[in-house]
Amino acid sequence: MKRLIVYFHYDPLGQIDTACRVAVEAMAHYGEVFFISNGTLRPADRAWAASVTLTCRERENKGLDVGAYKETLAVIGRDRLARYDELVLMNFTLAGPVCSLASMFAAMEARPELAFWGLTRHYAMKSRRFGGRSGEVPEHLQSHFLAVRAPLLHSEDFWQYWQKMPLPKSYEESIANHETRFTAHFANLGYRWDSYVDTKDLRDAFVNPIMACPRELLANRGCPFFKRRSFFTPYADELRRTDGTAARTLYDYVKQETNYPVDLLLAALLQRQPLDALARELHWQYVLPDAAPVEPAPELAAQGLALLRLPISEVEKADSVTAWYTREAARRADEALAQAAALFAKEPMLGVLSPAVPLWPAARQSRDADWQAARPALQGKVNVPLGQNPPPAPACGWALVRLAAVVDGDTLPAITAPEDAWLLPLKAQQNGFFSASFTTAAQSAAAADQLALHYQQAADPKAVAKQFGRLVKHKLKK
């Protein structure tokens, strides 16, 4: 089968990261690759793309993936496309493959009755955001990987679809006008379709299986790709549809059970995504025993580590309870030092580690207030995106840092104000390291109980009304 693969890429830094390179090189074994990027590539990245693809084209970042595909089809032309038996439209949001692609292509080539097929499907749901005026999102193949065959590929139906397609101005428009429409549009014209990954038995549980249970698809259903967005999608969205562990179990599976360089993907995401989003999805929080055995103080310098004491913020000084917890965490630093240092040996990408913020509500509020106060001044000091929520460290009393992640030359950063402390995780992120916090087993159990209490109260109208009344009262007092 003669196959053309149109690979859509976008990166605000103009880089083609490892995840894209691995995907393109793997796909190039199964067809000719037309690489199109929405933006200007760096010279070295442009040279790489030109060396491994049929064509490398750069364009204005207009119309998202739909604009790129529409332009590519116009550039290739109908006569030239007629030489191919199959056209694959694929984009950079997929990471992988974690296994050989031979099984997927062989399985789908054995189904010549299909006019088009895709990697995975999304099931029907109601959504004002993606369903347009009707709010109805039909079951559809997901546009991150669509394969179109003759006779559909060479039909007037296919070309009219793209000629009439308006350029989307937003992610929502791209989904509503193309991704959720493509499958039903051609199915209604009589063209047969299916997905490679069979998730029909999951229909009643998850509308979007590749995001809800990616490990299941990779480990047990032959799916060769996963979504890089799994590692930074809003965590509140995850908790609305899953138990919140999808990203971490995906990462652990790929890291431990495959040869895919997932840490190189993570390093790229650290340059492009807010640290707090990655930390929530990947649960960069560790649990240390409550009663650790007495161990000799580790030789931190020999391990490339340093202990930094963090100042108490002005907000904490106004809250005696939060200040007490902060001083208590600082006092107990030596007790946890050996175990904390051991985590750095196990996690080579760990750059900054500190105690987690205590569950005392005002402590969380103090940390959020510190972050919001410091955030404007931090914008120009680091070249990483800053999220609305604070990163996972520093938090309470002290931090253990990997020197390679935070030093300027040979000098440790001076920590004289809360703003200086916030630079620690951001500098580590800029240098390709993540930051994390740790709790004791008791604190971890308390957090689970707190979450259970919140769910219980949220289901009780009286409890919600009482909490709302308390909130209004405290706001009025202030």
Residues 6 or more apart whose CB falls under 8 angstroms from that of 388 comprise 274, 276
Nearest to 301, CA basis, from 375, 401, 185, 381: 401
Considering just the CA atoms, what is the radius of gyration of the chain in Å?
25
Domain 3-197 has CATH 3.90.550: yes
Is residue 144 a contact partner of residue 94, using CB atoms and an 8 Å limit? yes
Residue 397 is predicted with a pLDDT of 80
CA 16 to each of CA 45, 47, 155: distance values in angstroms, whole numbers, following the listed order = 6, 11, 34
Whether the ω angle into residue 97 lies within 30 degrees of 0, i.e. cis, is: yes
Residues 6 or more apart whose CB falls under 8 angstroms from that of 264 comprise 17, 18, 19
List the chain pLDDT tens, one digit each, 478 residues.
999 999 999 999 999 999 999 999 999 999 999 999 999 999 999 999 999 999 999 999 999 999 999 999 999 999 999 999 999 999 999 999 999 999 999 999 999 999 999 999 999 998 877 776 677 899 999 999 999 999 999 999 999 999 999 999 999 999 999 999 999 999 999 999 999 999 999 999 999 999 999 999 999 999 999 999 999 999 988 988 899 999 999 999 999 999 999 999 999 999 999 999 999 999 999 998 765 555 666 789 899 999 998 877 766 777 888 888 888 888 888 888 889 999 999 999 999 999 988 888 888 888 888 889 889 989 888 999 999 999 987 767 889 999 999 987 667 888 887 778 889 999 999 999 999 999 888 877 777 676 666 666 666 666 556 655 655 555 666 5
Pairing of strands 145-149, 94-95: unpaired
> Which alpha helices (DSSP H) does 82-152 contain, by range?
102-109, 128-131
* Residue 446 to residue 456: CA distance in whole angstroms: 15
Q: What is the pTM of this model?
A: 0.91
Specify the 3-state DSSP secondary structure of 67: helix
Name the helix (H) or strand (E) containing 95: strand 94-95
Q: What is the DSSP letter of 302?
A: G
Nearest to 292, CA basis, from 336, 333, 332: 336
Q: Which amino acid belongs to residue 278?
A: L
Pairing of strands 136-137, 125-126: antiparallel
